[in-house]
Homo-oligomer: A and B are copies of this chain.
Amino acid sequence: MTDNAILTITALQERVEAIFAKAGLNPVQAAALARVIVAGERDACKSHGIYRIEGALRTVKAGKVRPDAVPEIVEQQASAIVRVNANGGFANPAFELGVPHLVARARSHGLAALVVNDCTHFSALWPEVEALTNEGLAALVMCPSYATVAPTGGNKPLLGTNPVAFGWPRRDSTPYVFDFATSVAARGEIELYRRAGKPLPEGWAIDAEGEPTTAPEAALAGAMLPFGGHKGSAIATMVELLAGIMIGDLTSPEVLDFLGTTTLAPRHGELVIAFSPEAFAAGRPGDPFARAEVLFDAILGQGARLPSQRRFAARQKSESEGISLSREEIAQLDRLLRDGLDSVV
């Protein structure tokens, strides 16, 4: 007898969508949110799977995101910028609304940007990246988060974990996709060390006095550090500038001011840049997609991995065998469906 239940991807989508509907989200919010959460679960990214439902509901309950928001395209003078206002809702339906426009403009102009404003963004960035690689476009995506990371040489939280994600479309394979925080570690990882009573690796964090620490409690009261020293710090700062300030949306310190906590999903904007490899390679020798395969083969030929390989393997398994959830997870989904917003504090 197994403790696990197997659900098809479609069945899990319906179940998660129903939870969000019960909690008061309108259909466009509920469906888009369920899609990214199910995608996380499908790809065995448990930290972006059904685990995230409660955080989304808490953010609704706290009044920090509008469950009935309807995103809309904002008329824009600049022809290579598509702007979607999420109108205080979640980022995901706003992103989905913008994608066809972004794709069309990237194809005609060679590159284009999608700006999502006034949204709550709690998912990974790879779903956004893959929505564009599916259209044969390369994509670079970034957003701020809450101020929890000190700049290199600094002593207190200022920058966010500011993820950056990139994708390159492949004709006969899953795309090349990376998606990572510009901090050494995620805040959740430090929390796991704390619960396990284990010291952190060196270089992850500083304490409230700005001194290096390996104590998880001291790290949580202090600040995380950027990956790769001053280089990662500079990239995280670029994310604040481009995907916060330039697009007229909140920076990571402003997000923290707005929420007053890191336990709710962050409110900010998002910047998505799409590139048409066909347009960029036009008139030049060689097919860019074939040439990229030579590079990937060389990486794999050294025994190195391509990013997201594990995720795509898990996806393939989920697509053929369904998604396996534990008895506790099923019980949690049942509880969330039954109690709606009452199930969270």
Chain A interfacial residues counted at CB < 8 A? 75
A158 at the binding interface (Cβ < 8 Å): yes
A248 located at the interface, meaning its Cβ lies under 8 Å from any Cβ of chain B in the complex: yes
Which of the residues B108, B138, B228, B286 comes within 8 Å of A231, measured between beta carbons?
B228
Stretch at the interface among A10-18, A109-117, A316-324: A109-117
Taking a contact as CB atoms under 8 Å apart, the answer to whether A245 and B288 are in contact is yes
Asked if A154 contacts B299 (CB within 8 A), the reply is yes
Quick check: B110 and A178 within 8 Å, CB to CB?
A: no
> How far, in whole Å, are A164 and B96 apart by their CA atoms in the complex?
30
Interface centre among A168, A234, A273, A285 (most CB of B within 10 A): A234
Residue-wise interface mask of A (275-312) relative to B, using a CB-CB cutoff of 8 A (1 in contact, 0 not): 11101111111101001100100110011110100000
Q: Mark A224-262, 1 if CB is under 8 A from B, else 0.
A: 000111111110011011100111110101000000000
In the bound complex, what is the Cα–Cα distance between A292 and B158 (angstroms)? 13
Give chain A's interface secondary structure class: mixed
The yes or no answer to A192 lying at the interface (CB within 8 A) is: no
A79 within 8 A of B: yes
A242 to B80, Cβ gap below 8 A? no
| Residue contacts A-B, CB under 8 angstroms, 16 given | A77-B282, A78-B111, A79-B108, A110-B113, A111-B113, A111-B273, A150-B302, A151-B302, A153-B304, A154-B304, A155-B302, A182-B231, A228-B228, A240-B295, A246-B275, A253-B298
